[in-house]
Homo-oligomer: A and B are copies of this chain.
Amino acid sequence: MPSGYNYTVTDTADFPHPEFDPKDSQPAGWLDEQELAAARGSLPLVYVDAVPVRVDDSGDVIAVGLLLRVSREGVMTRALVSGRVMYHERLRDALLRHIEKDLGPVALPQIPPSPQPFTVAEYFPTPGITPYYDRRQHAVSMAYVVPVTGDCQPQQHSLDLAWLTPEQACSESVQAEMYGGQGVLLRQAMAHVGRLS
């Protein structure tokens, strides 16, 4: 982890939206910011990570979508789609919600039929215990490769969405722009789809 890391993933967008109806599978969440902060210091939180990809007719991954953001310190970073699973929300609904939140409402993701993730990323608030790090919290994140077939537009917190080949995504220069272990997670995703380089 580079020193000076002070980048938090999707903070604002991750807070509950009280206008959501729980029956819509996008429940409100019941914690205010203070309570969530307290829980963050005492419980592991449930997260999902999505690696958005473009595939060909045979399902082979031809491109990986990475969000481009600028940290508080003005450093350019690349990120996966990642976010919290809310109370009474299914993993698959959380995946869909976060992908639409980050890639727009017409990304048309193909959420995997199985809940079996390709790995579980355990983000620890202490660096070095696992390859993943989140200074704010202990998050246990089920990670999925998600083909998207529609038009993707970066939303609110992102400058851009870049489509890279698997080789580019695994390259040192791109890996150097990813934080909290998401570079490792991305390469694990490429290993899973047979496109590690």
Contact = CB atoms under 8 A, between A and B. Distances in A.
Interface in A150-197: 184, 187-188, 191-194, 196-197
B120 A142 contact: yes
Nearest to A128: B2
A122 B88 CA distance: 9
In the complex, the count of this chain's copies comes to: 4
A40 to B, nearest CB: 9
Given A2-B129, A30-B41, A114 B110 contact: no
Contacts of A80: none
Interface residues of A, number: 65
Contacts of A30: 41-43
Contacts of A191: 119, 187-188, 191-192, 196
A1 B60 CA distance: 11
Interface in A99-144: 110-120, 122, 124-126, 129-131, 138, 140, 142
23 contacts: A1-B58, A25-B58, A29-B42, A30-B43, A42-B87, A44-B46, A46-B140, A58-B92, A58-B95, A58-B96, A59-B110, A61-B113, A85-B140, A88-B125, A88-B138, A90-B122, A90-B130, A116-B118, A131-B194, A142-B142, A187-B196, A188-B194, A191-B192
